[in-house]
């Protein structure tokens, strides 16, 4: 499975999450709105639902026309804009609940998952098996770690290049995380 292709045709994403494209693009917010509009998402509303494939098509255009770094910026805006379960108060819980949040913001079919495994006192591994681009997932993970980082800790999120990668038609991407 490759990035930018929905696993199921009927999957939808809530508008609150879709709006993260606009918010995550900062000074290029209007460009983000224009790209969403070209893919059938005109003036997204927070409580509405939109086709995941249209949103993924917008991501693909952003990647090709603006650059992958922008996808990471959009990913970093997800924790501030999407629905997340209550009670998150540390990095480990934050990473462990990304999958629950992912499922809260999507509906209508197979969407994949985020799977966090703790591998040490302050480190773990996240497997991302979904249709989103690597850089977007990197941004989400990085934002969650930073948001719940203990005072004085230094975060590290690394894409595991020795593992399969969606940008190379793999089924998932894996990230090592330390805090």
Distance of alpha carbon 91 from alpha carbon 95, whole angstroms? 6
Distance of alpha carbon 63 from alpha carbon 124, whole angstroms? 28
Domains plus CATH for the chain? 12-81 (no CATH), 91-178 (3.90.1520.10)
pLDDT tens-place string over residues 103-137: 999 999 999 999 999 999 999 999 999 999 999 99
Distance of alpha carbon 135 from alpha carbon 118, whole angstroms? 22
Position 169 confidence tier, pLDDT thresholds 50, 70, 90: confident
pLDDT tens-place string over residues 13-56: 999 999 988 888 989 999 999 999 999 999 999 999 999 999 99
Tokens of 120: 């040490």
Query: For a pLDDT cut of 90, what percent of the chain falls above it?
Result: 81
């Amino acid at each position: 499975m490759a990035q930018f292709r929905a696993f199921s045709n009927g999957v939808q994403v809530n508008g609150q999450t879709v709006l993260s494209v606009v918010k995550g693009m900062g000074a290029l917010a209007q460009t983000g709105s224009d790209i969403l509009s070209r893919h059938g998402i005109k003036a997204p509303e927070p409580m509405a639902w939109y086709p995941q494939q249209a949103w993924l098509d917008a991501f693909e255009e952003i990647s090709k026309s603006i650059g992958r770094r922008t996808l990471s910026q959009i990913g970093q805006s997800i924790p501030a804009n999407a629905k997340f379960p209550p009670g998150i108060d540390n990095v480990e819980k934050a990473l462990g609940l990304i999958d629950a949040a992912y499922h809260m913001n999507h509906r209508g079919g197979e969407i994949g998952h985020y799977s966090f495994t703790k591998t040490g006192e302050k480190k773990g591994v996240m497997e991302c098996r979904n249709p989103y681009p690597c850089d977007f997932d990197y941004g989400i993970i990085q934002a969650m770690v930073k948001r719940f980082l203990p005072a004085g800790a230094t975060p590290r999120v690394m894409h595991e290049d020795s593992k399969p990668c969606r940008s190379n038609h793999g089924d998932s991407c894996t990230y090592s995380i330390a805090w």
